[in-house]
Structure 1
Amino acid sequence: MGVMRQAWFDEARFGMFVHFGIYSVAARHEWVQSYERLTEADYRPYFENFDPDRFDAAALARRAKETGMGYVVLTTKHHDGFCLWDSALTDFTSVTACGRDLVREYVDALRAEGLKVGLYHSLIDWHHPDFTVDWNHPRRDDADARALNEGRDMARYREYLHGQVQELLTQYGQIDYLFFDFTYPEERDGWAGKGPDAWDAEALLALCRELQPEMLVNDRLGIPADFVTPEQYQPTSPLMKDGKPEIWEACQTLNGSWGYHRDNMDQKSPTLLVQMLADSVSMDGNMLLNVGPDGRGALAPRDERTLDEIGGWMRLHRDAIIGAGHAAFPPPREGVYTRRGDRLYLHLFSWPLGFLHLPGLAGRVRFARLLNDGSWLRTSVTDPDQQASHMTPAGEVEGTLTVHLPVRRPDVLVPVIELTLTGE
């Protein structure tokens, strides 16, 4: 990937994922059609009653910006095949359902806020008559499931898939990021999966490069592209392949569901989410945090509250996230480091009593402060040759810098200590 193409992505570090569609009306997970084996007739009422009167793209863009995010990624089409733009290739769209091109509203709103424009597009399409039944398909358990594939032609579906991607990449101006989802070549339950050949992945990626040469493309076509996408787990070190660092982004949910799930109360705390964000940046990764607007297109109050709290933390600590990355120092047991230029940021996941011991930093730090209020913190280096008194920190390896902390932890989600490094 060209360095210039990824520069904004490395700088931003934090983005918003938006899963929205007719499954938001069902309000019980975006995979509801597959999980509950719903037929087209079963699923149709969600299309017929799709009325996103509270979907406000401008408010969504403002919310992302206020939360400290630099880009947003919207589901143009999820696996159910429902499209949020004015596609000429199907009438299974938001324009048919409610008279609105939601992708158009969205891209215009993002550009007005100066945010990078990302699109999600499902490779899978359970609505399309030529998309063959497989082990993800809602009809896989039908008595005549095998017979359903008679007459289905994936070549015709590929033409449709490529045609829709062409629409999205030619009708909405510059697109900065495209998240395809997903490739599953393995067999399961006696059904074949779908590998890169199902999408003609090489030609599809070539189409993306031709139409939007500066756009980032993820790895879920099943062939190498620009970045990799760990989902709902956190790596434990910077990602490497063949000895070279990989560009990566952890995509995470607020409650385990991507689409609106009314009865799922398994909310991650704002503190945990900020720790996950800092953790990602500490390993040279990004975090894409998902929201699932409800059946009317609004964010749930519980999600608004969480984003409010994260936004408040980001306003005070953005320098420790935006434009920051991995630091080649061993972090103390209390947290993780991020680094930006000559500033080293220690994100404290736990608050120690009085002293924080930082191996390898003696003589390397010329100023230490709490980032939330800019208050100076005293530092010292213990002389290992001197007999320590019973009130002096002991047991630290040579070269350890000790930061002296107040007893009371700052009232922020995750306290951050900013260490200004010497030029050495």
Structure 2
Amino acid sequence: MTDQEIRWERTAWMREARFGMFIHWGLYAIPARGEWVRSTEKITVEEYQKYFDEFDPVYYDPKKWAKLAKQAGMKYAVLTTKHHDGFCLFDSAYTDYKATNTKAGRDLVKEYVEAFRAEGIKIGFYYSLLDWHHPDYPHYGDRQHPMRDNPEYGNENRNFDNYVTYLHNQVRELLTHYGKIDILWFDFSYNALYGEAWRGTELVEMIRSLQPDIILNDRLSGDAAINDALQEDILPMYAGDFQSPEQIVPPAGVTNGKGDPVTWEACMTLNDHWGYAVFDHNYKSAKTVIRMLVDCVSKGGNLLLNVGPNAKGEIPPASKKILEEIGVWMHENGESIYGCGNAGLPKPAWGYYTRKDDVLYAHVYDIFTSSLVVEGMANAVEYARMQADGAELSMSRPWNSAKYPNELFIDLHDVQLPDPIDTVIRLKLK
């Protein structure tokens, strides 16, 4: 098999799952101005230390997180074990900058793994390639670092190779202390920091030796490198198993240079920040998220939807409410999402299609008459049913449809759709 075929086979479970929970959580939940607060406000390590000293998530209960994810219909989760600020939620032997040395006093990643695994949800670890706390990570002049413009924080005597060794050591810890891990989600490469700058081949060889079945995203590679790699059958080891477009659904999905589909996942925020931001109330509605999920699946992709717990360890009530509403829809219509993908048909005017094997799912957003017209499918469908309740739908042709012999007409009885978010019709193909 080619490298791309191996990656396609390795990610089969991900294309079945389709919907996951992203969790951004760390010290930045205390200032509550988003996960990039150290960089955007150019906060020094010394000034940021107060958040480490205060960190005490007294209501942290990942069992509640896991139950909410399951209720929402999510099949996997990805937690920020270490974000760009360098703070580790796990008990690393290579740093004192970790949750076990805060008032929390325990390994928070361990509790996450146990809770989500108990709910049958696959386990993912996010790990930032950046580290604004480590003394050997570039400071002055680096376009991301909080001290990028401060000449007092020069790069003299900083040994980047020491940092890369630290990165490798921590990844080894994450993949040896918590049992089987399903996803390793790196973030992110930029400028000259990509691929072998991270000793990428060595890193992935180590990862594969520890967790042969784990799947990796594409962010060990820079954008240009991965786009070039997609054109080839032989990819660098660090190219990853799936693409991870951020805050965008690719208009036509993602394909390689030959036009073949590749596994991909759009990661999206629920509001406008990844980490908790107390002022950010610009939440997407359940309707918006559901339609975004359908958009992704119809193009052969997944949706990884983020929540940002607060400083006390709770998922905000607004986020919780949205996920619960999504869960109601997924309970009735999840069959049109899980394991489904591109239907190979033009997008209809009234909504979207998803498909799995010999079942076509019509996701109907708007109709203007009581008949749903399915173009080109007049003789292709055995029967039609409402996905939510299994009710039979008539496929009888209207008296005035003789001029449209190739179209399928489904009688919905009313122009008011049963589900204003997305009425799903299950079409069994002949």
Shift of 1:100: 1.4
Alpha-carbon displacement from aligned partner over 1:89-119 (angstroms, at most 9, x marks no partner): 0010011112010110011111111111100
CA-based RMSD of the aligned residues comes to: 1.5
Give yes or no for contact 1:154–1:198 (8 Å, CA) kept in 2.
no
Moved more, 23-32 or 352-361: 352-361
Alpha-carbon displacement from aligned partner over 1:356-384 (angstroms, at most 9, x marks no partner): 211111111111122122222222447xx
- In structure 2, what is the equivalent of residue 372 of structure 1? 388
- In structure 2, what is the equivalent of residue 227 of structure 1? 242
- In structure 2, what is the equivalent of residue 407 of structure 1? 415
Give yes or no for contact 1:362–1:381 (8 Å, CA) kept in 2.
no
Q: Within 5 A, what are the aligned runs for 1:20-39?
A: 20-39=25-44
Give yes or no for contact 2:87–2:97 (8 Å, CA) kept in 1.
yes
The answer as to 2:172 corresponding to 1:166 is yes
- In structure 1, what is the equivalent of residue 234 of structure 2? none
CA distance in 1, matches of 2:164, 2:17: 33
The answer as to 2:364 corresponding to 1:339 is no
Moved over 6 A (4+): none
Q: Within 5 A, what are the aligned runs for 1:175-194?
A: 175-185=181-191, 193-194=192-193
Q: 3-state SS of the aligned residue for 1:271?
A: helix
Give yes or no for contact 1:178–1:218 (8 Å, CA) kept in 2.
yes
Shift of 1:408: 2.0
Q: Within 5 A, what are the aligned runs for 1:177-326?
A: 177-185=183-191, 193-222=192-221, 223-243=238-258, 244-326=260-342
Q: 3-state SS of the aligned residue for 2:172?
A: helix
Q: 3-state SS of the aligned residue for 1:144?
A: helix
CA distance in 1, matches of 2:42, 2:367: 49
Pick from 100, 104, 107 the counterpart of residue 106 of structure 2. 100
Q: 3-state SS of the aligned residue for 1:120?
A: strand
Q: 3-state SS of the aligned residue for 1:41?
A: helix
Shift of 1:411: 3.6
- In structure 2, what is the equivalent of residue 189 of structure 1? none
Shift of 1:344: 0.7
Give yes or no for contact 2:8–2:241 (8 Å, CA) kept in 1.
no
Q: 3-state SS of the aligned residue for 1:240?
A: coil
The answer as to 2:148 corresponding to 1:140 is yes
Shift of 1:3: 5.1
Shift of 1:242: 1.6
Give yes or no for contact 2:8–2:262 (8 Å, CA) kept in 1.
no
CA distance in 2, matches of 1:235, 1:395: 37
- In structure 2, what is the equivalent of residue 420 of structure 1? 428
Alpha-carbon displacement from aligned partner over 1:243-289 (angstroms, at most 9, x marks no partner): 12111000011002110111011111110100010111111111100
CA distance in 1, matches of 2:422, 2:47: 46
Give yes or no for contact 2:134–2:163 (8 Å, CA) kept in 1.
yes
CA distance in 2, matches of 1:302, 1:246: 34
Q: 3-state SS of the aligned residue for 1:273?
A: helix
Amino acid corresponding to residue 41 of structure 2 in structure 1:
E
The answer as to 2:364 corresponding to 1:353 is no
Give yes or no for contact 1:381–1:400 (8 Å, CA) kept in 2.
no
Unaligned stretches of 5+ residues in structure 1: 186-192, 383-387
TM-score (norm 2): 0.91
Shift of 1:403: 1.6
Amino acid corresponding to residue 8 of structure 1 in structure 2:
W
Shift of 1:394: 8.3
CA distance in 2, matches of 1:100, 1:350: 51
CA distance in 1, matches of 2:126, 2:307: 14
CA distance in 1, matches of 2:7, 2:200: 20
- In structure 1, what is the equivalent of residue 76 of structure 2? 71
Q: Within 5 A, what are the aligned runs for 1:81-160?
A: 81-97=86-102, 98-133=104-139, 134-145=142-153, 148-160=154-166
Shift of 1:321: 0.5
Amino acid corresponding to residue 202 of structure 2 in structure 1:
A
CA distance in 2, matches of 1:421, 1:234: 28
CA distance in 2, matches of 1:4, 1:195: 25
Give yes or no for contact 2:73–2:327 (8 Å, CA) kept in 1.
yes
Amino acid corresponding to residue 257 of structure 2 in structure 1:
D
Shift of 1:197: 3.0
Amino acid corresponding to residue 239 of structure 1 in structure 2:
V
Give yes or no for contact 1:275–1:349 (8 Å, CA) kept in 2.
no
Give yes or no for contact 2:11–2:242 (8 Å, CA) kept in 1.
no
CA distance in 2, matches of 1:350, 1:208: 47
Moved more, 61-70 or 408-417: 408-417
CA distance in 2, matches of 1:250, 1:321: 15
Moved more, 129-138 or 351-360: 351-360
Alpha-carbon displacement from aligned partner over 1:60-113 (angstroms, at most 9, x marks no partner): 111111110110100000000000000000010011112010110011111111
Q: 3-state SS of the aligned residue for 1:319?
A: helix
* Corresponding pairs, count: 404
CA distance in 2, matches of 1:357, 1:412: 18
Shift of 1:395: 7.1
CA distance in 2, matches of 1:369, 1:164: 51
Shift of 1:54: 1.2
Shift of 1:331: 3.0
Pick from 50, 59, 67 the counterpart of residue 64 of structure 2. 59
